[in-house]
C-alpha cells in the first residue's frame, strides 16, 4: 500500500494566510460593500487556507443573519472585484491572491454534535456509565 505524504503548511503559508484573513476581515467588518441590500450584520471570517503556490486563498465566512448559505456566497461573488482591490491596498505582498469564498460548516457540525448528545439513547448510555 502506498501512502501519500501529507505536506504540512510552512510558516510562510500560515503567516500569509493570517495576513489575508485579517485583511478580508477588515474589509468585511466595514460592511461598505457595493451590494444592493447590504448585510445587516458584518460577516465573520473564520478561517483562511492558501494554495501551495500562494496564488489562491480560500476564505471561510459565516454570518449571524438568517440568510441562505448560497445567497451569502452569491453576494460576495458579486463584489469580489471590489473586495480584492481593497485587500490589495491593505496587504504588502508581491502578488495579491485570488480570493475564493466558502461557507464555514463548523458551526453546523457543532450544533449537530450537540443535538446528538442530547438524544435519549446517548443520555441513557451516560447514566449507565455513571
pLDDT single digits (tens) 41-84:
778 888 999 988 889 999 999 887 777 878 888 888 888 898 89
- Give the rounded percent of residues in the chain with a pLDDT score beyond 90: 18
**What is the domain partition of the chain in residue ranges?**
11-104
Return the C-alpha cell found at 120: 435519549
Q: Which residue has the higher pLDDT, 33 or 5?
A: 33
Q: Which residues have a Cβ under 8 Å from the Cβ of 17 and sit 6 or more positions away?
A: 9, 48, 49, 50, 57
Hey, which residues does 61 pair with through a beta bridge?
Answer: 45, 103
pLDDT single digits (tens) 108-121:
788 888 888 888 88
Predicted local confidence at residue 70, as pLDDT:
84
Enter the CATH code of domain 11-104.
3.30.300.20
Amino acid at each position: 500500500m502506498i501512502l501519500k505524504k501529507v505536506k504540512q503548511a510552512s510558516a510562510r503559508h500560515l503567516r500569509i494566510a493570517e495576513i489575508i484573513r485579517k485583511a478580508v476581515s477588515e474589509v468585511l467588518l466595514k460592511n461598505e460593500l457595493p451590494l444592493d441590500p447590504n448585510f445587516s450584520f458584518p460577516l465573520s471570517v473564520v478561517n483562511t487556507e492558501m494554495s501551495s503556490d500562494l496564488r489562491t486563498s480560500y476564505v471561510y465566512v459565516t454570518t449571524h443573519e438568517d440568510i441562505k448559505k448560497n445567497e451569502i456566497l452569491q453576494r460576495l461573488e458579486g463584489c469580489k472585484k471590489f473586495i480584492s482591490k481593497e485587500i490589495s491596498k491593505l496587504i504588502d505582498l508581491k502578488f495579491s491572491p485570488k480570493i475564493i469564498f466558502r461557507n464555514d460548516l463548523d458551526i453546523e457540525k457543532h450544533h449537530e454534535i450537540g443535538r446528538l448528545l442530547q438524544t435519549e439513547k446517548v443520555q441513557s448510555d451516560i447514566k449507565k456509565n455513571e
